[in-house]
Amino acid sequence: MKNRRSVLEILVTLPSALWLAIFFLVPTVVVMAIAFKPTNPYGGVGTGWTVATWLSLGNPSYPAILWRTLWLSLLTTAASIVFAVPVGYYLARIRKRWRQFLLLLIIVPFWTSFLIRIFAWKVLLHPDGFIKKGLVFLHLAGDGASLLYNPWAVLLVMIYSYVPFAVLPIYAAAERFDFQLIEAARDLGAKQWQSFLKVFLPGIRRGLLTAVLMVFIPALGSYLIPDLVGGPDSEMIGNKIAQRVFVDRNLPHASALSSLLTLAVLLPMTVVLFLPGRRGRPDLMAGEGK
């Protein structure tokens, strides 16, 4: 019986493990390897090994882009958490039917096309759009000011895109939080904000940490958002990778940049994976089917 068990285990594990090893793990290693290859004149990869590509990353334009990638991602994460905590709290405290409906409304953007949602913002922030007209009418913006093609537009759309990733883990943690603890704190004389800061937030810290990483990691790799609503002064590392691939077809250079991004992403990712939730797994989908 024991033997039979392990044969079945291998049988159901193998298809996904093999597929992901071939199409996910191997490609990641290939990227790292090609970063040490020279280019060839046909836009492909040459023979032999070199560190020249890595040295060319010292190019002065890169530190600025890396720095921008970092601060845009950090601000996106901070804003998403601040926004998501009260929403998670609210969802955990309301009646079940109503909560299911609201959760559905929050999950739907996950499913809808990323491209379309960014395009919708492009229309909204357009110089002829009503937000711009409203701001000009209120004398909050000049006629010539542009709401699009700057880092702030990128930040706004990044928050818009990534905030659902923060709401779900925070809600999942809040849902399991014992709200009587807050009442106890209040009975013992804590003010409302004190019970929130000193009882509620520590109580959901695991959900908070998951939320931080779930927003921060994908945010670091943003490419489409700065591409569509950003300008030349809002490029992120993802845009540089795409340019090296599609504009000047320098695959080793693109690989070096990607390796850098992979390393930046790997560390926080390991944290999420080893951060135990129920059954030793991170609580991501906990919001679903509840």
Looking only at residues 25 through 84 of this chain, which bind other proteins when binding is defined by CB under 8 A? 25-28, 30-31, 34, 44-45, 83
- Exposed, middle or buried: residue 186 (CB in 10 Å: 0-12, 13-18, 19+)? middle
Q: Which span sits near other proteins by CB under 8 A: 59-67, 142-150, 201-209, 277-285?
A: 277-285
- Give the CB-side neighbour count of residue 136, counting CA atoms within 13 A: 15
- CB 163 within 8 Å of CB 109: no
Binding to other proteins (CB under 8 A): which residues in 128-147? 128-130, 133
CB of 128 to other proteins, least distance (A): 3
Could you say which of 77, 148, 261, 277 contacts other proteins (CB under 8 A)?
Answer: 261
User: Hey, which residues between 146 and 165 contact other proteins (CB under 8 A)?
Assistant: 160, 163
CB of 24 to other proteins, least distance (A): 6
Q: Give residues with Cβ within 8 angstroms of 152, minimum separation 6.
A: none
**Helix or strand or coil: residue 146?**
coil
Footprint (CB under 8 A) of other proteins, residues 207-246:
213-214, 217-218, 220-224, 228, 238, 241-242, 245
Q: Return the number of the residue (34 or 151) whose C-beta is nearest other proteins.
A: 34
Please give the C-alpha separations between residue 117 and each of 27, 152, 161, 211, in angstroms, as whole numbers.
29, 17, 8, 21
CB of 138 to other proteins, least distance (A): 17
Binding positions for other proteins, 173-192, rule CB under 8 A = 183, 186, 192
The reply to whether 19 sits near other proteins by the rule CB under 8 A is: yes
Residue 203, token pair as written in the block: 């109580």
CA atoms of 213 and 223, how far apart (whole Å): 18
DSSP, residue by residue, 211-275: HHHHHHHHHHT--HHHHHH--GGG--HHHHHHHHHHTS--HHHHHHHHHHHHHHHHHHHHHHHTS
Least Cβ distance, residue 270 to other proteins (angstroms): 9
* Residues pairing with 45 in the sheet: 39
**Out of 66, 79, 91, 153, which residue is the one contacting other proteins (CB under 8 A)?**
91
Binding other proteins by CB under 8 A: which of 167, 172, 199, 256? 167
CB of 63 to other proteins, least distance (A): 20
Q: What are the C-alpha distances in Å from 163 to residues 51, 75, 156? A: 39, 12, 11
Query: Cβ 111 to other proteins, closest distance in Å?
Result: 5
